[in-house]
Structure 1
């Protein structure tokens, strides 16, 4: 049985991940600003914490929970994300900051918080995007989103190097398009080739086994070409 922390669990991939790990008998700490949908499911082995990872006071609640439960963390999946589909010239700096707050600073803050609870074989899986891969196909309107996801990739590589002697292990998955609510809100009418449950199954398996084979690596999880 593993102790797993997942962010962005109210819907989409995050929600499906919680269901998968619960069904496998693992202990899950599910973190989300909108925590009630998951709380109402009352899944076995799942504790739900209402938390905005951009707010230090909210992160303190996560810390208190872990301390009170003497919990260790075997797997952290940084799944929470923010997307903005808007032309660069029309995007305000505040909008840029909001995307980076969730996609970069929130990720960094939660990792810092959980490091004391992770052992050498712990696995941090950061969720990025194909849009953050240098040389990949880019789409107008995603300057804030794709650049933030590129930052997550570099952050993962840096942390893997910094902690390569002591652990935990850090990897990043650059996902292609998945038919989530977030994608539908940003691109109305677009139909992605994969459903959240399908991608969640891949991420769940990778989070439990990938640390045996990879460290500091970015894996492109996309069936599109190029």
Structure 2
């Protein structure tokens, strides 16, 4: 049984990840601002309401995790937000908020949870094909896609910094998955993959991918977008 932290669990891929890990006997710390009522009937799910942009709240969260679970085996950064507007119409506050959630929140959570991780642990960041250098880009996603590129580089750097401690960092850059966020980015588009299917892939990679990869970005996409 592994102890797994997953962010962005109130809906979509994050919610499916929680259910799949628990079904396999792992204990999951489900992090989001609001609870998912589906989890109330599940054993080994521990919901924590955490504002990833609040340093004091993150320190409190890490102290709770240390007291209740002692250590963490897998950390999955799944939380994300999006603004779909022409660049000229995105306010500074909107641009900053996207980075607070998609980049600064990832860095801050890493900072407080890494001391609780041991050799063999895995930090997995869910990014986007939009963050891949040289990939097709789409108007309106300047804040979102650039933030997803930033966490890719962050993960590559942390893999180097923590390799002597045996903690692996990897990124899955997802293509189109039929989620609410996809509809915000591409209204009306029907993706070939649903959240359940993608969660299954992510779950398996989170459990075993660190045996084969470290500091790598895997592109998980069958279509454009």
Identify whether the pair has TM-score above 0.5, normalized to the shorter chain. Answer: yes
Q: Deviations over 1:40-90 (max 9, x none)?
A: x33111100011111123213311311221421100000000111100011
What CA distance in whole angstroms lies between the structure 2 residues aligned with 1:71 and 1:204? Answer: 22
User: What are the superposed Cα offsets for residues 99-143 of structure 1, whole Å, 9 maximum, x if unpaired?
Assistant: 000000000000111011101110000010000001111100000
State the Cα deviation string for residues 128-172 of structure 1 (Å, max 9, x = none).
Answer: 000000111110000000000000110010000111111311000
CA distance in 2, matches of 1:186, 1:212: 34
For 2:177 and 2:163, the matched residues in 1 are separated by: 32
Per-residue deviation at 1:189?
A: 1.4
In 1, the alpha carbon distance for the partners of 2:32 and 2:38 equals 9
C-alpha contact 2:156 2:215 (8 A) present in aligned 1: yes
2:72 touches 2:117 (CA, 8 Å); kept in 1?
Answer: yes
Q: Does 1:180 align with 2:179?
A: yes
Would you say 1:80 and 2:79 are equivalent positions? yes
Q: Normalising by structure 1, report the TM-score.
A: 0.96
Match of 2:46 in 1: 47
Partner in structure 2 of residue 204 of structure 1: 203
Q: Which residue of 2 aligns with 1:98?
A: 97
Aligned counterparts, 1:98-137, within 5 A: 98-137=97-136
Q: Is contact 1:9–1:38 with CA below 8 Å preserved after alignment? A: no
Q: Tell whether the 8 Å contact from 2:176 to 2:224 is kept in structure 1 after alignment.
A: no
Is contact 1:38–1:48 with CA below 8 Å preserved after alignment? no
Tell me, yes or no, if structure 1 residue 218 matches structure 2 residue 217: yes
Q: Distance in 2 between matches of 1:210 and 1:74?
A: 13
Question: Which residue of 2 is the match for residue 147 of structure 1?
Answer: 146
Mapped partners of 2:21, 2:36: distance in 1: 19
Q: Please, which runs of 5 or more residues in structure 1 have no aligned partner? A: none
Between the two proteins, the alignment pairs up a number of residues equal to: 225
CA contact (8 A) 2:84 2:184 kept: no
Rate the CA distance shift 1:12–1:70 in 2: closer, same or farther, 3 A.
closer
SS of the residue corresponding to residue 112 of structure 2 reads helix
Distance 1:115 1:37 in 2: 29
TM-score, length-normalised on structure 2? 0.96
Partners of 1:113 and 1:101 in 2: how far apart? 16
Q: Secondary structure at the match of 1:85?
A: coil
